Amino acid sequence: MLTGVLMPRDYSPDGRNVSPPLTWRGLPEGTRQIAVLCQDHGAGRPPPWVHWIIYNIPGNATGLPEGVPFDPSERMPDEIAGATQGNNGWGLPMYRGPAPPGTSLHHYHFAVFALDTELDLPPGLTRDELLEAIEGHVIGLGSMVPLYQRQPSGNGPQFPS
Amino acid sequence: MNDDDAREKNDSSVISRRDLLRTAGAAGAAALVPHSIAAAAPAEAIEAGAAALPGPSIATAPAPTGPLMNLTARETEILSAMVDRLIPSDELGPGALEAGALRFIDRALSEAESDSAGAYRSGLAALDRYSHYSRGAAFVELSATDQDSVLIDLQTGGATGANVGFVGSSGSFFNMVKSHTWQGTFGDPHYGGNVDFIGWDLIGYPGVRLQVSEEDQRALEADELTPVRRSAYDYATFRADQ
């Protein structure tokens, strides 16, 4: 998954709809915690439409593995122990991938925030609540903007009934 | 479905349910089981203000078995898997399947919810096509986690644009099945679901009571109140044929 490139369908409801693997490097010195946000500025009333919010990620993490559990009772992988998910645009504390209407092409902004403190944020924060909570603590920001477009109508799957 | 449609639909189903009671009461009487009479101890029945009980319970007839009336074997299999994920049997207790929600829905499709039969037919077929398309296997063959993920895609409308045949939004189909599953699990057993009061036990519902004494209130607050496990229609007050 890269900026300006169509993301694989497995990160959308056209596939398994699992959260994509992310890696980052060059975190500023003094990074104690990390938060990640994925949003579509071309959707939502008002925009953006939030696809994913995850925070309380340990400051020594180098990324997120593919398929972060969406069931809150399931343990987070060891390398991101303590990570917590906020509520996306559907009000669900999990990753839900892009399903842009029709055949429109949308941009998905992944933002990685490096924080200078260890916040113990509760699950289910909205985008605004997260941004408010991390205000004044952001010492670094990275981003990536992959694209997604669904298959043209009429080319959908055909299965024997 | 917009809110007005939903309201209209709810209103019409309330009316038809009330009409149903008149016949269901008679039909249910044929299926009486002895254990239902013993379901509430006499002292408890009095406490619950059930002195005017119209004889044996019509609520706790045994769950019928055999094929469903309105769904094909394949549709039954898919709906059964879906209902099982909506309220699974887990450490909290038995789930929607054990509570008879599947059979409740099947029965409703030829009664109060007959308008929804087509939506079930097309929705279940679309659900299975969507599972094949997005996860590479039939819905019933997916892991519980993948089934949950598929259902979330239905709920959030993500399955709508996959061109698999959902009529309108996949969210409408999801909400319809969810709503009927809730009704079949937590509704009064009189309507054929909530078998053995499984749904009421799940949520700790103290039961239908015509009177609540001070002691009852204290016991409820102390979480020591013995629940009344009796259909509302076992009370003369609520019987449609009175």
Structure tokens at A52: 């994913």
Q: Which of B7-11, B30-34, B75-79 holds the top average pLDDT?
A: B75-79
Return left, alpha or beta for B157; rule: phi > 0 is left, psi -120 to 50 is alpha, else beta.
left
Question: What does the mean pLDDT of chain A come to?
Answer: 93
Distance separating alpha carbons of residues A63 and A83, to the nearest angstrom? 12
Interface check A92 vs B, CB under 8 A: yes
Interface check A67 vs B, CB under 8 A: no
- What's the full length of chain A, in residues? 161
Three-state secondary-structure class, residue A143: strand
Which ipTM score applies to this complex? 0.92
Distance separating alpha carbons of residues B175 and A27, to the nearest angstrom? 44
Which pLDDT band, with edges at 50, 70 and 90, does A157 fall under? low
**pLDDT at site B80:** 97
Is there a contact between B232 and B17 (Cβ–Cβ < 8 Å)? no
Using CA atoms, how far residue B68 sits from A24, B65, B77, B206, in Å, is 54, 8, 11, 32
Nearest residue to B63 (alpha-carbon basis) of B94, B90, B101, B113: B101
The overall pTM is greater than 0.90 = no
Strands A106-107 and A147-148, bridge-based pairing: antiparallel
- In sequence order, the 6+-apart residues with CB closer than 8 A to the CB of A31 are A59, A114, A115, A116, A139, A140
At A65-90, the pLDDT tens digits run: 999 999 888 999 999 999 999 999 99
Nearest residue to B138 (alpha-carbon basis) of B182, B81, B83: B81
In angstroms, the first-to-last Cα distance of chain B is 36
Best probe of the B interface among A10, A11, A16, by most B CBs < 10 A, is: A16
**pLDDT at site B60:** 52
Cβ of B163 within 8 Å of Cβ of A16? The answer is no
- Domain regions of chain A by residue span: 9-147
Cβ of B158 within 8 Å of Cβ of A155? The answer is no
At B137-162, the pLDDT tens digits run: 999 999 999 999 999 999 999 999 88
Sole residue written with tokens 């009000």: A91
Question: What does the mean pLDDT of chain B come to?
Answer: 79
Cβ of B163 within 8 Å of Cβ of A161? The answer is no
At B204-229, the pLDDT tens digits run: 999 999 999 999 999 999 999 999 99
Nearest residue to B206 (alpha-carbon basis) of B191, B190, B223: B223
Cβ of B161 within 8 Å of Cβ of A16? The answer is no
Distance separating alpha carbons of residues A111 and A91, to the nearest angstrom? 19
Cβ of A96 within 8 Å of Cβ of B146? The answer is no
Alpha-carbon torsion (A100, A101, A106, A111), positive or negative: negative
Nearest residue to A119 (alpha-carbon basis) of A39, A41, A8, A31: A31
Nearest residue to B150 (alpha-carbon basis) of B171, B127, B166, B179: B127
How many domains, chain B?
1
Alpha-carbon torsion (B222, B228, B231, B233), positive or negative: negative
What CATH topology corresponds to A9-147? Answer: Phosphatidylethanolamine-binding Protein (3.90.280)
Interface check B157 vs A, CB under 8 A: yes
Best probe of the B interface among A19, A96, A106, A148, by most B CBs < 10 A, is: A96
Strands A109-115 and A33-40, bridge-based pairing: antiparallel
* Domain interval for residue B203: 3-238
* Burial class, A12, CB count within 10 angstroms (exposed 0-12 / middle 13-18 / buried 19+): buried
Minimal Cα–Cα distance from A13 to chain B, Å? 6
Nearest residue to A1 (alpha-carbon basis) of A34, A26, A38: A38
- In sequence order, the 6+-apart residues with CB closer than 8 A to the CB of A75 are A69
